[in-house]
Amino acid sequence: MDELKTLGDLIKTKNDIETQISQIIDRPGLQGHIGEFIAGKIFDLKLHEDATKRGNDGVFRSGPLAGKNVNVKLYGKRDNVLDINLTDPAEYYLVLTGPKSHIGSSRGSTRPLV
């Protein structure tokens, strides 16, 4: 039972942190939204107001890709897999990823965002 209490306390802390993140990014503090926010700042993207737009998350504002749409992905580990929408593909993909994952069970491992 102590494990459940500890887990509950950690989940509450995680929820509090996600609330703080959502205040910064103006969207729920979820992995996909965090990735879009980071990519938007680094690559000068105009993210869509509606986060449910199919196929892409925004448009490059400047540089050689200005005006082109982009889909942003943030993965905690590099699994050499890319989730794309084949019905409505983006013109470009920005993939932010952590270290290469190891083959085998995920037991005992973590999947940090950065």
Please report the pLDDT score of residue 68 as a whole number. Answer: 98
Identify which of 37, 46, 53 has the alpha carbon closest to the alpha carbon of residue 114.
37
Q: Which residues contact 42 (CB under 8 A, 6 or more apart)?
A: none
Q: Which percentage of the chain shows pLDDT scores above 90?
A: 73
Q: What is the pLDDT of residues 10-59, one digit of tens each?
A: 999 999 999 999 999 999 999 999 999 999 999 999 999 988 888 999 99
CA angle at 9 for the pair 6 and 15, rounded to the nearest 5° = 140
| 66 band by pLDDT with thresholds 50, 70 and 90 | very high
| 100/109: higher pLDDT | 100
DSSP 45: E
